Structure 1
């Protein structure tokens, strides 16, 4: 089984999802929370493509297809797991930024 297309798909989609999640974080810092949420949805859709490719490889191995372990495959797995972890953290940071924004608005309203 030629794994290179699948491996590069995981790397590419994982990297794209991670980059878009950081765009979402930047939008949240700019208090553009609606746009930030849309970007995170986009990031998750792309991440799902990488995850589906990973699942395809796992299923192939479970069906006794020969999956040769390579440094490139390990790199793809690392890329995917890093994207998943960072996206989870970014989602939490965005929630914190929304909370800070809400509190700032309350303080400003009370101070008037």
Structure 2
């Protein structure tokens, strides 16, 4: 496997892990498990940090003259990273909304 594909698949894996953890956080919050939801958010952030580091390395390497071939897999990997970012932001907001709903229900 070429280095380009290896890097792209590492990025897809890290971003996918982040997105999965974010979705798990939303599910836990919906059920009222806010502590568990926040643990999933922490895991999502860790995976997203890993994905972002892979992207940063690509950018720094390119600025040093060591670029990779851009192909559909790399574009797909970048799409996964974008979706992971959006999903984590959405999960954080949804946890807050579910907490407000649960507080209103308790009154």
Which bracket does the TM-score occupy, shorter chain normalised?
Answer: over 0.9
Structure 1: gaps of 5 or more residues: 107-112
1:70-109 mapped onto 2 (5 Å cutoff): 70-106=71-107
Work out the CA distance in 2 between the residues paired with 1:85 and 1:20.
Answer: 13
TM-score when normalising by structure 1: 0.90
TM-score when normalising by structure 2: 0.94
Asked if 1 retains the 8 angstrom alpha-carbon contact of 2:41 and 2:91, the reply is no
- Number of paired residues? 106
Larger Cα-atom Rg? 1
Structure 2: gaps of 5 or more residues: none
1:66: Cα distance to partner? 2.7
**Superposition RMSD on alpha carbons, in Å?**
1.2
1:20-59 mapped onto 2 (5 Å cutoff): 20-59=21-60
